[in-house]
Chain A
Amino acid sequence: METLVEFFTFEYPNIKYVVFGTILLSISSAVVGCFTFIKKKSLVGDVVSHAVLPGICISFLASGSKDPFLLIIGAFISGWISIVVMDAIIRNTKIKEDAATGLALSVFFGVGILLMTYIQHSGNASQSGLDTFLFGKAAALVGVDLLAFSIIAVIVLIVVFLFYKEFKLVSFDPQFAKVIGLPIRRLEIVLTSITVLAVVTGIQAVGVVLMAAMLITPAAAARFWTNRLSRMLVIASFFGAFAGISGAFISYSTPSMPTGPWMVMILSIIALFSFFFAPGKGIVVNQWRRFKIQRQLLEENLLKAFFKIGEGNNDYFKEIEANDLRLARAFSSGQLNKGLRKLNANGYVERVGSAWRLSKEGHDKGKRITRLHRLWELYLTKYLRIAPDHVHEDADTIEHVITPELESRLEQLLDYPTADPHQSTIPSRH
Chain B
Amino acid sequence: MDAFIIILTGSLVAVSCALLGSFLVLRKMAMIGDAISHSVLPGIVIAFLLVGSLQSAWMIIGAGLIGVLTTFLIEFFHQKGKLQTDASIGVTFTWLFALGVILVTYYAGNAHIDQDCILHGEIAYVPIDLMYDDAGNAIGPKAVIVLSVVLTLILLFITVFYKELFITTFDPDFASAIGISTSKWHYLLMGLVSLTTVASFESVGAILVVALLIAPASSAYLITRDLKWMFLLSSLFGIISSFFGYWLSYALDGSIAGAMVTISGVIFGICYIVTVLKK
Contacts and interface: CB of A to CB of B under 8 A. Distances in A.
Contacts of A106: 34, 207-208, 210-211, 214-215, 261
B84 A40 contact: yes
B94 A99 contact: no
B259 A114 contact: yes
B45 to A, nearest CB: 12
A281 B102 contact: no
Contacts of B214: 99, 102-103, 106
B131 interface: no
Interface stretch (A205-213, A305-313, A335-343): A205-213
Contacts of B91: 213, 216-217, 220, 268, 271
Given A105-B34, A114-B259, A216-B94, A98 B29 contact: yes
A106 B108 CA distance: 26
B119 A114 contact: no
Nearest to B33: A102
Nearest to B212: A106
A115 B254 CA distance: 7
Nearest to B86: A42
Interface residues of A, number: 64
A92 B24 CA distance: 20
B31 interface: yes
Interface in A133-154: 134-135
A135 to B, nearest CB: 6
B89 A43 contact: yes
A113 B120 CA distance: 8
A229 interface: no
Given A101-B31, A256-B105, A40 B207 contact: no
Nearest to B90: A216
A110 B260 contact: yes
Interface in B4-31: 24-25, 28-31
A356 interface: no
A117 B255 contact: yes
Given A107-B268, A114-B254, A220-B87, A102 B208 contact: no
A45 B215 CA distance: 20
B163 interface: no
Given A106-B207, A261-B98, A46 B254 contact: no
Contact of B82 (A93, A209, A213, A281): A281
B81 interface: yes
Given A109-B207, A109-B208, A220 B106 contact: no
B257 interface: yes
Nearest to A113: B258
A125 interface: no
Interface string B28-60: 111101100010000000000000000000000
B17 to A, nearest CB: 11
A99 B29 CA distance: 8
A327 interface: no
Nearest to A214: B94
A45 B93 CA distance: 14
A90 B221 CA distance: 13
Contacts, number: 212
A213 B90 contact: yes
A138 to B, nearest CB: 14
A264 interface: yes
B87 A219 contact: yes
A37 B265 contact: no
Nearest to B204: A110
Contacts of B77: 275
A206 to B, nearest CB: 9
A384 to B, nearest CB: 28
Contact of A283 (B80, B89, B255): B80
Contacts of A328: none
Contacts of A99: 24-25, 28, 30, 214, 217-218, 221
A111 interface: yes
Interface string B226-245: 00000000000000000000
Contact of B94 (A40, A98, A213): A213
A96 B32 CA distance: 14
Output the residue of A89, A209, A217 with the most chain B CB within 10 A: A209
Contacts of A122: 253
Output the residue of A106, A109, A261 with the most chain B CB within 10 A: A106
A144 B28 CA distance: 44
B276 interface: yes
Contacts of A376: none
A92 to B, nearest CB: 5
A112 B205 CA distance: 14
Interface in B173-226: 207-208, 210-211, 213-215, 217-218, 221-222
Nearest to A266: B98
A329 interface: no
B206 to A, nearest CB: 9
A107 B272 contact: no
Given A110-B265, A264-B98, A258 B254 contact: no
Closest 4 A/B residue pairs (Cβ) = A110-B261, A114-B258, A213-B94, A106-B211
Interface of B: 24-25, 28-31, 33-34, 38, 77, 80-84, 86-91, 94-95, 97-99, 101-102, 105-106, 108, 115, 119-120, 207-208, 210-211, 213-215, 217-218, 221-222, 248-249, 252-255, 257-262, 264-265, 268, 272, 275-276, 279
8 contacts: A98-B30, A99-B28, A110-B258, A111-B265, A210-B98, A216-B91, A220-B90, A223-B83
